Amino acid sequence: MRLRVDLLPHGNYPDVVVIVDVLRATTTAVAYLERGADALLLTATPEVALALRPEGESTPYLLGGERGGLPIPGFDFGNSPVEAAGQNFTGKTVVMNTTNGTGAAHTAAHSGKHVFLAALTNAHAAARRARAAATEEIAIVCAGTDNHVGLEDVYAAGVLAEYLLAMGEFSVDDGARIALTVRRNGGNPLEALGSSGHGAHLTRLGLSEDVRYAAGLSTSTIVPTLTRDDSTPDQTLKFTAG
Amino acid sequence: MRLRVDLLPHGNYPDVVVIVDVLRATTTAVAYLERGADALLLTATPEVALALRPEGESTPYLLGGERGGLPIPGFDFGNSPVEAAGQNFTGKTVVMNTTNGTGAAHTAAHSGKHVFLAALTNAHAAARRARAAATEEIAIVCAGTDNHVGLEDVYAAGVLAEYLLAMGEFSVDDGARIALTVRRNGGNPLEALGSSGHGAHLTRLGLSEDVRYAAGLSTSTIVPTLTRDDSTPDQTLKFTAG
């Protein structure tokens, strides 16, 4: 079995793909499902999200997302896991669009057989699900920030890689070696996230509670899992709790 | 002053760019100049290199390069620093084309003001040259291997970053933080290069002496420096010893 870490999304994925966007898309996705949401619909653009809820019409959708860390006009929620964790989403479907994470999921879904969303908050469960589904390769894909590698995602990829290596034998690539080195020498999760460029950016925006929340290790056992069915609206990816 | 490490080439470079392709393009480039070559012409494709020396014509050019680690048909040399170090290139111009490194140089030259080639073998000199030329940013750009991050390049970027941090104040990005962590925890240069995927590939091809050569730290003070002049053939970048 191969274990591969892409420090940025690229290329084709033959088997299992685990998308990591710790600050904050995948952390928030876990929180929505943890708080009862039926499903998440990830869109590649805000326009696709807004089109799912035409003005004045009643639809079953809530919209959550951000650009540059800030809420998107017309959306119900930002991309805050703390905000999500404080609400009840039972029976709701949340449409998500974010700067990096949702695009990475679309890249992965293009070729991957099994696609999961992982954060630090569900790292152990995500590693177990990935291991159970994989037949040849697990690719952990870091979303990064605006095409730049994000320390927080590489650290989380290292946490996932460490869990996976404890579960069985893998041949690892250079990306996995780098992620493991960062994980083992990058301090505790809060130190790692706090020292990342995007963590500092969020703190400047007054969102340090989100950084703290995202640093919670394996606090959830929910793994957002790509679910391909006919009822999924065009240009969206449906993730349900796995 | 900003210090930025791109773990793969991307984006725009406003000021100084240092290209790193330790296994083996930039290591070999240093060796050619160390052994007396007047200049290096880096091409984006093998075809451009071959067109500089039409069959049967006498030209001042020698051709060096590889694809997947192996020599290119019609070229005089592979991409081996050991081979280069064993020859005398006085008065010669070497046209280089390699799988990753020469493409990264073309990406960098598109926007960068000052472009240098760095390897472990000239790391200290390259850091000093970059520091002297920079006014706002030093971007260390890892060439990687076929769009995948290469551990050997990230390690070397960490070595360069460490030298630079000893020379003055920098704000560092996440890529630089990751490279420094890999440098400080990745063992000595030979261990780091040997454990990389590309180092293992070269060893399987019987080229372990090149890996050993490339692990020599600061054995040269030559820094291949992009030189823009009217005599440079189209679609090539001229580097001379700086």
Q: Per residue in A63-109, pLDDT tens?
A: 999 998 888 999 999 999 999 999 999 999 999 999 899 999 999 99
ipTM of the complex: 0.93
Q: Specify the DSSP element, H or E, that contains A82.
A: helix A81-85
Residue B56, pLDDT > 80, answer no
Domain ranges of chain A: 2-241
CA separation for the pair A225, A229 (Å, rounded)? 12
Residue A190, pLDDT > 90, answer yes
Query: Cβ–Cβ of A7/B149 closer than 8 Å?
Result: yes
Query: Cβ–Cβ of A174/B150 closer than 8 Å?
Result: yes
Contact between residue B105 and residue B237 where contact means Cβ atoms under 8 Å apart: yes
Strand pairing class (B236-241; B39-43) = antiparallel
Residue B55, pLDDT > 90, answer no
Mean pLDDT of B174-194: 97
Condensed to tens digits (0 to 9), the pLDDT of residues B116-140 reads 999 999 999 999 999 999 999 999 9
pLDDT at B185: 97
Cβ-based contacts of B23 with chain A (< 8 Å): none
pLDDT at A86: 96
Q: What percent of chain B has pLDDT over 90?
A: 89
Residue A56, pLDDT > 80, answer no
Distance from CA of A151 to the nearest CA of B (A): 5
Cβ-based contacts of B196 with chain A (< 8 Å): 174, 177
Report pTM: 0.95
Q: Residue B191 — very low, low, confident or very high, per pLDDT cuts 50/70/90?
A: very high
Contact between residue B3 and residue B176 where contact means Cβ atoms under 8 Å apart: yes
Q: Residue B190 — very low, low, confident or very high, per pLDDT cuts 50/70/90?
A: very high
Q: Specify the DSSP element, H or E, that contains B16.
A: strand B16-20
Structure tokens at A136: 């040849």
Q: Specify the DSSP element, H or E, that contains A240.
A: strand A236-241
- Residue in the block written with tokens 């050993």: B212
Distance from CA of A183 to the nearest CA of B (A): 10
Q: What percent of chain A has pLDDT over 90?
A: 89
Amino acid at B151: L
Q: Which of A147, A150, A181 sits opposite B185 (nearest CB)?
A: A181
Half-sphere exposure of A71 (CA within 13 A, CB side): 12
For the domain made up of A2-241, give the CATH fold: putative 2-phosphosulfolactate phosphatase (3.90.1560)
Cβ-based contacts of A174 with chain B (< 8 Å): 148-151, 154, 196-198
Q: Residue A214 — very low, low, confident or very high, per pLDDT cuts 50/70/90?
A: very high
Condensed to tens digits (0 to 9), the pLDDT of residues B164-179 reads 999 999 999 999 999 9
